[in-house]
Structure 1
Amino acid sequence: MTAALPETAWMPRDAARSAESQVREWLAARTGIAATELPLQRDTQDRPRLGGALDGHDISWSHSGDGLLLAFGTGVTLGVDMEWPHGKRKVAEIARRYFTPDEQAWLAVQSDAAARDHAFHRLWCAKEAVLKAHGHGLSFGLDRLQFAEIDGALRLDHADHALGEAASWRLHEWSPAPGYLAALAWRPR
């Protein structure tokens, strides 16, 4: 059984305010709980957690460029990442350092530099989404999970045992706004 796709929302990021304050406003409108009363806290790894009346729900967000992306779901553990690829990253160098040999090989067979850059950002978003859901973020290690492209979609092919069974994770990739790439990872609780 596949868990339903959690809810997502993209909005322009107000750089004068914290992303969390914008998330609280969105979540307040979504749940009817005042932003100041939301049971949104951070755990010891700084991962956002919902409790109280929202126990059983999960939330994640990401910001890049001028955008803010939120994900909200019930009965799932989720993470979301969004990137605004702007060509300033040394993708080959980063991939050699942080991606698995199979992922590096997949990047190497892309048709040109633009395709490699796009594929790199897809992998980055997918990995970061899973690691945000896991709760340890990038410090866990990008090389401790491996994605493979199957029929045009990325799938978690292998994961460190701390992440659970690779097959239990779902991934949704999309462009939430022009010029942005995003990935939402989730698994049933």
Structure 2
Amino acid sequence: MPLADGQLQLGPVRCAWRPYRHGRPAEPLVREWLSGELGTAAAALEIHRTEHGRPHLGAPHADWDASWSHSGEGLLMALAQGLRVGIDLELRRPRPKAGVLAERFFAPEEAAALAAMPDALREPAFVRLWCAKEAVLKAHGQGLSFGLHRLAFELEGEEWRLEACDPALGTPADWTLRTFRPAPDYLATVAWRARWT
């Protein structure tokens, strides 16, 4: 369902949607939203980057975690306290190479499950799986460079459930994922887990 007034609460994670123009820096829009959520002037909000480019908030908001993703003309942001959070947004569009990408980058069982689907279902299932994987990897902090094959999902009905993952990600039981439609023609997944010690 689309976000009412651009905001959505998914368990402990706050999400927000903003219109976005491709090629424009997203961080000023994110900073504006975060400043309102955290009660801090946008200019005073500290946003740092890890060596892998993952954003994290500085003092006095270091216990909060933020993630954002843009696709098409949309920007989706997530914020949570005491958790690691990752979010991915995808615009619905033709993906003629979805099968090739799945074979090359996904776990073999995932690629096989996608290949066995009727043509009409394969592309939407690929996008749902891509969103889920990318949300977890963004929360983890290394993004796609960590390897899409290092976490494996199993199809249950129309939903993908995290079945196995590299020990660096913790265990599948550590993760909570929610897939939703923040706006017409968009799909998103937000993933979160307790912070690593």
1:90 corresponds to which of 97, 110, 114: 97
TM-score (norm 2): 0.89
Are residues 1:114 and 2:120 paired? yes
For structure 2, the 5+ residue unaligned runs are: 1-9
Are residues 1:81 and 2:95 paired? no
1:139 corresponds to which of 127, 140, 145: 145
Query: What is the number of residues matched between the two proteins?
Result: 186
**Most deviating of 130-139 and 80-89:** 80-89
> How far 1:149 sits from its partner (Å)?
2.2
Please identify runs of 4+ aligned residues in structure 1 that moved more than 6 A: none
> How far 1:48 sits from its partner (Å)?
0.2
Alpha-carbon spacing, 1:93–1:23, altered in 2? closer, same or farther (3 Å)? same
Partner of 2:194: 188
Partner of 2:177: 171
> How far 1:5 sits from its partner (Å)?
3.7
User: For 1:158, what is the secondary structure of its paired residue?
Assistant: strand
Q: Deviations over 1:37-77 (max 9, x none)?
A: 10211111110001212121100000000000000001110
Are residues 1:162 and 2:168 paired? yes
User: For 1:52, what is the secondary structure of its paired residue?
Assistant: coil
1:123 corresponds to which of 129, 139, 142: 129
Are residues 1:100 and 2:107 paired? yes
Partner of 1:56: 63
Alpha-carbon spacing, 1:14–1:33, altered in 2? closer, same or farther (3 Å)? farther
Look up the equivalent residue of 2:55 and give its one-letter code. P
CA RMSD of aligned residues (A): 1.5
Give the % identical residues: 48
For structure 1, the 5+ residue unaligned runs are: none
Could you tell me how far apart the structure 2 residues matched to 1:51 and 1:77 are? 14
Could you tell me how far apart the structure 2 residues matched to 1:138 and 1:146 are? 14
Does the 8 Å contact 1:131/1:138 carry over to 2?
yes
**Most deviating of 46-55 and 14-23:** 14-23
Q: Deviations over 1:109-129 (max 9, x none)?
A: 322x23100000001000000
TM-score (norm 1): 0.93
User: For 2:60, what is the secondary structure of its paired residue?
Assistant: helix
Partner of 1:27: 34
